[in-house]
Structure formats: structure tokens, C-alpha cells
A and B are shown apart, each in its own frame.
Chain A
């Protein structure tokens, strides 16, 4: 167990900078998820922590010790690769024992640890198999077993569930979380799947194009996204964004089609008369119920999902999606007026893209 501190880390491949000064303090025993779209540099950041790539500038410390110059082997970390990277010519047992034997651990202790890990991961029956004789889920477990036996300071995971089918992914997700609760080893988990991120992480690092767009608990990231990128990336279906203008009193927003919505509390008087971007999640919009203010939605098409109904349409010229509970019979081409609870509204600055605190 150890804390990991990442300070202003950058990484350049040749002339292109891929990681632009990421900082993050990971506490002892914490489960951190690095989340972001493909190509944003998640794997690269993880490989920098592992020592598989050299950092260009900045500092990484594990358990208080700066590891910039240390080989992966000296960092006391273990990693689960996306393709598992199980040694194909070794049995499950030897795969797990390999790292321990290299560290010259007595054979009896090696055996004890491998069997203990195999017990936890339900691999005891499979110890004599070669990786190719295992199913995807079993391979995944062997890859985890190889990490567990080492009892490292930090676990690193690079999209370990992405090769599994949907059902197995949910199951392994829960197993990983359960395992973490038992072992309490500091873990850094890379994924582009936000459900994985929200369910696994104590905190998320949302990455955008080589920078940390926001670091926070899943709930913080969902409820108070720090900028337009995070707001649009977290949540499915994605948050709606509408161009709006703050009314002269600073307490209401005027939408393009003339309707307006109230802002909570004192509103944003400092921005009276200024343009802002209004963000509201599809699940937070509700039928108006005869109120005076609201958002007018011209329905284009309706998706009935059973548990809820997605209504896609336009507000003025901007796309808008609403999620309504249960099955709702709504006609195509209908116009419905929606209410947005003031405390569920997000405001963003059109220039800086940053969140405007209300």
C-alpha cells in the first residue's frame, strides 16, 4: 500500500507533446479511474507511472519515493495489460510464480502465495493449464492473479475488461471492486467506459487530450462538471447544451425561442446580459406541468426503452434530448414544454468553456 503523487508530468514523443502537465495525488488504498476518450493519453499516463515510458518533465513519487529514474521492476507495481500479456508457453501456475521466482522467494512461500491467489480468484482447478486453454474471463483472472501474488504497492490496470463480453464485464467489474475492498491496494484503472469508471472509482481523473480536465469523485464529476468537456463526456445520453443569455436581473435565462428559465438562488448577477451555455441532462428535464417558464421541444423522434423513454428533438435550432420515466406516448412532431429544476442547471462560459459557479 502506498500513495502515488503525480506532479506536473509531461510526456513528449519526438516533437509532439502527448501529456501536458498532469498532476494528481492518489491516496493510500484509493481506487482511481483514469477516464477519457480514445487517444487522450490514458495508457501513456499509466505507462509513465509503470516506468514503461520515461517522463519528459515533472515527477512521479510512489510511497514518497521519486521513481522517475527507476526501472519498472524497482517501482514495486504490478500491471494488468489490455491483452493480459500472459506468457503463452507457461502454465497458469508458472505465470503467477514467475515474478516471485525472479525475486528469489523461497519455493514454499511462492507456492503458498500462488495457491492463495488462485483460491481467491477461483483458479485452483486451472493451475496446470496454458493460457490458450482458458476462456477470456479466466485469462483476465490469471492476469490479476499474477499481480496479486506480488503484493505490490500499486496495481495498474489498462482497460482490462475491454476484451470481455458485456455480461462478463459486469461480473469482473464487481469482482475487481470486491478484491479491492479485501486487499486495499492502491489501484489505478484506465478505461473509456464511463459506467466502469462510475462504479469502480473512488475518484475519477477525466482526461481530455493529454490533460486532466477534472479530478473528483464520480458524483462530483456528474453533478458539478468542471467544464464543457467533462459535462458532455460524462452521462449517457449526453448532456444537452443550449445557447442562452442571462436576463438583465441576472436571475433568469432567456432561451432563443423566447421562453426563459429560472436560475437558483441569487442567479448570476455578475453576468447579466451576457451569453452563456446552459447545460441540462436529459434525465433532469421533466414535463412542464403548466408552469410559466420552460424549454420548448419540437419532437423529432421517440425511443421507447421500456424503463424509460428518450425523446429527441430541437429547441430552436439546437438538438435536445429528454429522458422521461416509463413508457410515454408522445407523437412525432408534437411540441412539448419542459421544466428544468433550477438546481439541476449547469452554466458554462462560451469562451473559457469553464463552469460558471452559481
Chain B
């Protein structure tokens, strides 16, 4: 059932949403518009002059081997992060759901890591794998694995993927757990009576019922990996070694603020914006259709 608040006062509702609109304008629409304008301009390094160059910036980035490389890195990174974050979270949620059916006392405990994870995670992983002082790096060395993500691109990618996924796991976990808990026990019991073992019950009953949640999370996780992982990259690898972890958002920052190629950087962010918009449209399309059943 839908609940609507009805305002008598004609002005009040606008006043109430005004701060939100203001924030959106100042921090989102305005910079986005700036970036859009900027992407059509070419500026010299000192910012003293600029020229309108039509689509030159876009042509340049899409013909640049470095940019296309960054795109590939981003795709690998995003799908790896989403895959790991989703599957680990699902596994944990299934185990938690088992423990929770019946008992309620654990529930709050299980949510704790979520409060801790985002802040500590980046630093934690950085120190664990630090080639000189890190515990994990130390043990890996003992087992004959020479760990140095500052030199080895594959290792660097692994590390940022794990660190980025780690942050998402607790978020995904909560959604999966809520989804699992919302499945009436009688479905699972009916399947048990029908002769399905735990594995089969999960894949044929629980998982399909969870698919709207899973789909939602896939999109959210990819968006996260695409755009919200700047901090992880910056803290751990700074895009290196040799561009191995130079994902698109990091490249935007690098080209714009370090290399001061404002036009190119703006063109890249416009491309990223297009990606977000596309993902959002996909998301809404599917959610509106309430995902098949």
C-alpha cells in the first residue's frame, strides 16, 4: 500500500527539498556541466588560454593505446571485484541465514563488521601486504612467493581487487542476508519434503528468489568498482606498477591533476558519466520489471 503525505501549504514542500536540490546543483550538476564544457576545450598547461576543439579530446582518448589499456584494466578490475564481493558475501549470508533461522541474538553481531570495514580496510590491506613490513607478504615469502606488488602488475591487481572487494562484502552480505531471511521458511521446508538436499534447495529455490537482490547488487558493485575505488587505488598502488592498476577514475585524476591535461581528463569523465547513466538505465529497466517471477 502506498502512503502519501499531503501538504496543505504550497511552499513548504519546495522549501523542504530545496537543500537537497541545492546540494545536487552545487556538487553534481555544476561540476558535471563544467566537465562537459571542458571536454570540448583545449587548454595550455598554465590555464591561461583555451580553444574550442569540438570532439578532438574524445578522438584522442579513444585512439590512445594508454586509454584503451586503462579501459581493459577497469573491466578486469570491476568484474573481479564484483564477482569476489558477491560470491563471498552470498556464501557468508547463506551460512549466517542458517544460524539465524530460529535464533535472533546473533543478528546484531553479524552487522558489526560493516561499521568497521570501510575505514580500516584500505590501511589494513596496505600494511598486511607491504613488501617490507607486511605479515602476509612475510608469510608468502616463507612459502616461496616473492610478493612485491610495487613491481609485479598481477600481484598489484590481485591486491587492489581483494581490498576493493573486501569493502563491498559486508554491504552485499547485508542485502543477501535480508533477502534470504525474507524467503518464507515453508518454501524451503516444502522443498525438503519434496526430497531436495541443502545444495539443491539453495540453487533451485532460494537463489532464484534472491535473483532480484543479486541483480541489483551486481549493478551496484560494478558501479562501485568503476567509480568508488579511487581511494583504494590511491592508497595502495597509485595506478602502478606500469599502469597495471590504472583504472579509468584514477586515470582521470592523474591526467587532470598531475599531468594537467584538463581537456582530455574532462573528456574521460564525460565518458564515465555516460557509463553511469547507462548502468542506471539498465538498473531501473530491470527493477521496474521486478525481475521475472
Residues of chain A contacted by B187 (CB below 8 angstroms):
85, 87-88
A146 to B195, CA, bound (A): 12
Interface centre among B186, B193, B209, B292 (most CB of A within 10 A): B193
Closest to B292 in A: A89
Q: Does A98 contact B189, Cβ atoms closer than 8 Å?
A: no
Q: Does B209 contact A88, Cβ atoms closer than 8 Å?
A: yes
Please judge, given known A-B contacts A89-B209, A102-B194, whether A83 and B293 are in contact too, CB under 8 Å.
Answer: no
A87 to B150, CA, bound (A): 51
Residues of chain B contacted by A109 (CB below 8 angstroms):
none
Residue B190 CB within 8 A of the other chain: yes
Residue B184 CB within 8 A of the other chain: yes
Closest to A74 in B: B195
A102 to B197, CA, bound (A): 9
Residue A52 CB within 8 A of the other chain: yes
Residue A73 CB within 8 A of the other chain: yes
Could you give, for residues 145-179 of chain A, a 1 whenever the CB lies within 8 Å of some chain B CB and a 0 otherwise? 01000100000000000000000000000000000
Min CB–CB distance A132 → chain B (angstroms): 8
Number of interface residues of B (CB under 8 A): 19
Number of interface residues of A (CB under 8 A): 23
Residues of chain B contacted by A78 (CB below 8 angstroms):
193
Q: Does B189 contact A99, Cβ atoms closer than 8 Å?
A: no
Please judge, given known A-B contacts A98-B191, A130-B293, whether A85 and B196 are in contact too, CB under 8 Å.
Answer: no
Q: Does A72 contact B209, Cβ atoms closer than 8 Å?
A: no
Residues of chain B contacted by A98 (CB below 8 angstroms):
191, 194, 196, 204
Residue A122 CB within 8 A of the other chain: no
A102 to B194, CA, bound (A): 8
Interface centre among A71, A81, A89, A146 (most CB of B within 10 A): A89
Closest to B192 in A: A72
Residues of chain B contacted by A130 (CB below 8 angstroms):
293
Closest to B291 in A: A89
Q: Does B194 contact A85, Cβ atoms closer than 8 Å?
A: no
Residues of chain A contacted by B204 (CB below 8 angstroms):
98
Please judge, given known A-B contacts A85-B189, A87-B205, whether A102 and B293 are in contact too, CB under 8 Å.
Answer: no
Residue B208 CB within 8 A of the other chain: yes
Please judge, given known A-B contacts A89-B293, A130-B293, whether A83 and B184 are in contact too, CB under 8 Å.
Answer: yes
Residues of chain B contacted by A85 (CB below 8 angstroms):
184, 186-187, 189-190
Q: Does B208 contact A89, Cβ atoms closer than 8 Å?
A: yes
Q: Does A71 contact B194, Cβ atoms closer than 8 Å?
A: no
Please judge, given known A-B contacts A88-B293, A89-B208, whether A77 and B193 are in contact too, CB under 8 Å.
Answer: yes
Residue B200 CB within 8 A of the other chain: yes
Q: Does B292 contact A73, Cβ atoms closer than 8 Å?
A: no
Q: Does B190 contact A73, Cβ atoms closer than 8 Å?
A: no
Q: Does B189 contact A81, Cβ atoms closer than 8 Å?
A: yes
A50 to B191, CA, bound (A): 12
Residue A291 CB within 8 A of the other chain: no
Q: Does A102 contact B292, Cβ atoms closer than 8 Å?
A: no
Residues of chain A contacted by B196 (CB below 8 angstroms):
73, 98, 102
A-B interface, 8 closest residue pairs, ranked by CB to CB distance from nearest: A99-B194, A89-B293, A85-B186, A73-B195, A85-B190, A102-B195, A89-B208, A72-B193
Interface set of B (CB-CB < 8 Å, partner A): 184, 186-187, 189-197, 200, 204-205, 208-209, 292-293
With A52-B193, A130-B293 known, 18 other A-B pairs at CB within 8 A are A50-B193, A72-B192, A73-B193, A73-B195, A73-B196, A79-B190, A81-B190, A82-B186, A83-B186, A87-B191, A88-B187, A88-B209, A88-B293, A89-B208, A98-B194, A98-B204, A99-B194, A99-B195
Interface set of A (CB-CB < 8 Å, partner B): 50, 52, 71-73, 77-79, 81-83, 85, 87-89, 98-99, 102-103, 130, 132, 146, 150
